[in-house]
Amino acid sequence: MRDVAVIGVGLTQFGELWEKSFRELIAEAGAKAILDSGISGKEVDAMYVGSMSSGRFIGQEHIGALVADASGFSFAHVPSTRVEGACASGGLAVRQGYLAVASGMHDVVVVGGIEKMNDVGGTSATETLATAADQEWEAFFGATFPGIYAMIATRHMHDYGTTREQMAQVAVKNHMNGVLNPYAQYRKEISLDAVLNATMVAYPLGLLDCSPVSDGAASIVLCAAEKAKKYTNKAVKIIAAGQASDTLALHARENICTLQATVHAAKMAYKQANLTPKDIDLAEVHDCFTIAEICAIEDLGFVKKGEGGKAIDNRITTRDGSLPVNTSGGLKAKGHPVGATGVAQVIEIALQLRGDAEKRQVPDARIGLAHNVGGSGATCTVHILEAM
Amino acid sequence: MGEAVARFWREIPQRYNFMGNKCGSCERIFFPPREACPFCRRKSMGKMQEVQLTGKGEVVTYTIIHVGPEEFEEQVPYPIAIIKLEEGPQITGQIVDCSIDDIHIGLKVESTFRRIQAEGYTGAIYYGYKFKKCE
Amino acid sequence: MEEVGIVSYGANIPRYRIKTEEIASVWGKDGRSISEGLGISEKSVPSVDQDTATISVEAARAALKRCAINPKDIGAIYIGSESHPYAVKPTGTIVGEAIGATPDLMVADFEFACKAGTAAIQTCMGLVLSGMIRYGLAIGADTSQAAPGDALEYSAAAGGAAFIIGKDQIVARINHTCSFTTDTPDFWRRAERKYPSHGGRFTGAPAYFKHITSCAANMMNHMGTKPDDYDYAVFHQPNGKFPIAVAQKLGFSFEQIKQGLIVSFIGNTYSGASPIGLSSVLDVAKPGDRIFVTSYGSGAGSDSFDLTVTDAIKDLKRKNAPSIAQMVADKEYISYGVYAKITDLLYWE
């Protein structure tokens, strides 16, 4: 195994992108990443792309080939592979790219993530997202995807005294960060009252506890760390790539409030990097719902189980706190084009470690973590990056 | 959508009658039934036995769905809960015939036979379990 | 001849109720006078997840909870209803599977307006007496349809009851049954139509009254009985007035029909009406009680039954399932708007 570096990053705007097609979005993100990296197109050895449900969102499968074609790599006949793990599809693509380079199989790999969610109606988008849950034993009976996270929230409130206000503060914080991110879907602050009084979606989660339906794409270029200097002086190293799975259905888990896939993916990553949670300077975590960020900071080991709510009260995770979380605005404010999310999280960490995060820059950031979850926690990836 | 019926039909024993199974090696009970026990794995192979569960249990957690899928739109707001069955397995189901204010963690429930979904006005009707408060 | 009778019984009534006055207010009518005229103060309404299949399953399960019968010993299931969820595909198979009686049994769905449930009892009696089956399950259940604004809208309700018919452990012996049948189009629903049509006042004298009185008189003739010989009487109850009037005509007192007169509280449950009335009587019946039942189904016909409650009723675990009185009391009122939504009045394409 050899070290792997992120040498280029590219993002599209996240949001309701009515004028842009799936192909345009992925080509734009890929081109930006390649230009940022300094490689020439000829040097691309392989491509991996994460997409949760292009089949339902745009009626198109065979996304590996489509992405290679749309990005101009079809005549180079570059191997291109789509990976899927619901909302963790992007994180999985990053990890597949990482493994391909680390193994020595390929020197330069382009990783992409994309979702074009607004080409179907809102109801249809929500139902497609619910396919990340267990269709036969959860969704069939009327459980929606927000409903499943809401059940985690209800139990978290019961077991640990977590409050709706604490959850709402997650949304408030992430919107404050989103204001500073030029690619974010929502660049405006929201008040605590607005979150608490928003239309109820699935008690105890209101509309502003939920991440939005978004279009967007993200791409990174990976290469063997020893060769990174050849292309750029802005490389950051991926020092760990953890992944774990859990039961598809939330109900099958012994503890409803602990995402064991996060716990295990994090354990794998900390071990590989030889680090502890204390060594992490900042994190991008999977806040598809506000309760998910609270569970994530607990399950990643940043705070004790049950103290995620208090950590929000104590402002530990704000941009000027001891562990800034979701400086990008998170899924909540930056937007959540599901397949793109895992890649975009790695991009935010890379930008922060490069010192390129502009107004939302965390001073002296050396080590960052990206946490991407599929479904209600059946798939999880944890990547740790270090400045070079 | 008539072609989707087989997928439902196959699960009638579970949806109508809580047919689960038990690992002959560690005695753990599963619902829905599993091909092999995830704890004993090869030791359980060929030793999984059918067991009918009572459909009684208690609420582990719940939510009130205010924005529902199309097939459930007429029922909002409706409660969905994770129920821990007497025999051990946990399942997801709707709670009916009670006021939303009565629902709480620890509520004792039993199953009731209801229509779960229908494929529009022309497709098949799918029945199965929901839960109601125990008297 | 060998004895045959009811071995166990169970019923199901949905919880939603709508008041007669609530419906009347929507159509600009005087609710109080309609309520008094019909003798119905409110009616049961199925929720969106309830239909004849779910009511039948719950009623059958209630019957099984009260006795120790192995469902595999049930050799036939006949469900009478005019609101089977499918026009083609039986309700009985759903019930058979849900109670664990499949696959070695006979199943068919019955339709004879409001008397299909009692016709199912008669069919099961014949199969049991012939020795073709050990137990038969007869169910009468409906989620009755009524066109918005029609007079039927005040009464068309939902509910049903199930009876296990057999030869051993009989709790109510069926001493005799007979029917009276003619071709009388007083009420009907054409194939592929959503709501039924009816002959207005023609549904009274030449239909309901003629068939019930003729059938009941034939029964008492056959048995050599008179109204005083019965402790309870149950007549089909499309509204609160007809059964009282027909009882009077035949010489039964209000006291005799009171226990089985449920229509005032839940409306007309069509195929479920006489079966629910009989269930209500069985809820309180003591050994030796004699029960007279006459159903009525438009189109038209009546089925009469003469029953005697046996000592075995003391062993029947009646408390294992809710009584009719408990189900009548367990209710939640809804507005006409909610009623329109859940009974599919707002259907559009």
C82 tagged catalytic: yes
| Residues A139 and A284 occupy one common structural domain | yes
A158 tagged catalytic: no
Residue A293 belongs to a domain? yes
Would you say A10 and A30 are in contact if contact means Cβ atoms under 8 Å apart?
A: yes
| Residues B48 and B60 occupy one common structural domain | no
Query: In terms of C-beta density within 10 A (0-12 exposed, 13-18 middle, 19 or more buried), how is residue C202 classed?
Result: middle
CATH of the domain at B93: 2.40.50.840
In chain C, what residues touch B117 (CB-CB under 8 Å)? none
| Residues A143 and A205 occupy one common structural domain | yes
Q: In this predicted model, what pLDDT tens digit does every residue of A126-185 receive, in sequence order?
A: 889 999 999 999 999 999 999 999 999 999 999 999 999 999 999 999 999 999 999 999
Going through chain C in order, the beta strands assigned E by DSSP cover 5-12, 16-19, 42-45, 74-80, 106-110, 135-143, 158-166, 172-184, 187-188, 197-198, 232-235, 290-294, 299-309, 332-333
At C252, is the secondary structure helix, strand, or coil?
A: coil
**pLDDT for C349:** 59
Instruction: State whether A251 and B82 contact (CB < 8 Å).
Output: yes
Tokens of A27: 């080509």
Rg (CA), chain A: 19
Q: In this predicted model, what pLDDT tens digit does every residue of C76-101 receive, in sequence order?
A: 999 999 999 999 999 999 999 999 99
Write the class of the CATH domain C5-171+314-342. Answer: alpha beta
Query: In the structure, what pLDDT confidence band is assigned to residue C1 with cuts at 50, 70 and 90?
Result: low
| Residues A227 and A293 occupy one common structural domain | no
| Residues B31 and B71 occupy one common structural domain | no
CA angle C324, C329, C334 (to 5 degrees): 120
| Residues B35 and B91 occupy one common structural domain | no
| Residues B122 and B78 occupy one common structural domain | yes
Residue A351 belongs to a domain? no
Write the class of the CATH domain C173-312. Answer: alpha beta
The dihedral built from the CA positions of residue C265, C271, C272 and C278, taken in this order, carries a sign that is positive
Q: How many domains does chain A fold into?
A: 2
| Residues A199 and A218 occupy one common structural domain | no
Q: What is the pLDDT along chain A (388 residues), one digit of tens a residue?
A: 899 999 999 999 999 999 999 999 999 999 999 999 999 999 999 999 999 999 999 999 999 999 999 999 989 999 999 999 999 999 999 999 999 999 999 999 999 999 999 999 878 888 899 999 999 999 999 999 999 999 999 999 999 999 999 999 999 999 999 999 999 999 999 999 999 999 999 999 999 999 999 999 999 999 999 999 999 999 999 999 999 999 999 999 999 999 999 999 999 999 999 999 999 999 999 999 999 999 999 999 999 999 999 999 999 999 999 999 999 999 999 999 999 999 999 999 999 999 999 999 999 999 999 999 999 999 999 999 999 9
Q: How many domains does chain B fold into?
A: 2
| Residues B31 and B13 occupy one common structural domain | no
| Residues B101 and B123 occupy one common structural domain | yes
The number of C-alpha atoms within 13 Å of A319 and in the hemisphere containing its C-beta is 22
Instruction: State whether C49 and B16 contact (CB < 8 Å).
Output: no
Selected catalytic residue, list C58, C82, C84, C153: C82
Would you say B55 and B85 are in contact if contact means Cβ atoms under 8 Å apart?
A: yes
Q: In this predicted model, what pLDDT tens digit does every residue of B31-80 receive, in sequence order?
A: 999 999 999 999 999 999 999 999 999 999 999 999 999 899 999 999 99
Structural domain containing residue A48: 4-121+214-236
In chain B, what residues touch C322 (CB-CB under 8 Å)? 135
| Residues B41 and B84 occupy one common structural domain | no
Q: What is the DSSP string of C257-296?
A: HHTT--HHHH-B-GGGHHHHHHHHHHHH--TT-EEEEE--
Domain boundaries, chain C: 5-171+314-342, 173-312
Query: In terms of C-beta density within 10 A (0-12 exposed, 13-18 middle, 19 or more buried), how is residue A75 classed?
Result: exposed
**pLDDT for A307:** 98
Selected catalytic residue, list A106, A156, A175, A336: A336
| Residues A328 and A243 occupy one common structural domain | yes
Q: In this predicted model, what pLDDT tens digit does every residue of C281-297 receive, in sequence order?
A: 999 999 999 999 999 99
Distance (Å) from the C-alpha of residue B16 to the closest C-alpha of chain C?
5
Query: In the structure, what pLDDT confidence band is assigned to residue B135 with cuts at 50, 70 and 90?
Result: low
One fold for both C5-171+314-342 and C173-312? yes
In chain B, what residues touch C51 (CB-CB under 8 Å)? 115, 125
% of chain B surpassing 90 pLDDT? 90
Tokens of A66: 């489509």
Average pLDDT over residues C262-285: 98
Best of A136, A141, A205 to disrupt the B interface (most B CBs within 10 Å) is A141
| Residues B62 and B47 occupy one common structural domain | no
Phi, psi of C175 (to 5 degrees): -70, -35
In chain A, what residues touch B37 (CB-CB under 8 Å)? none
CATH of the domain at A224: 3.40.47.10
Structural domain containing residue B64: 2-17+54-133
**pLDDT for B3:** 60
**Which one of A203, A236, A269 terminates a domain?**
A236
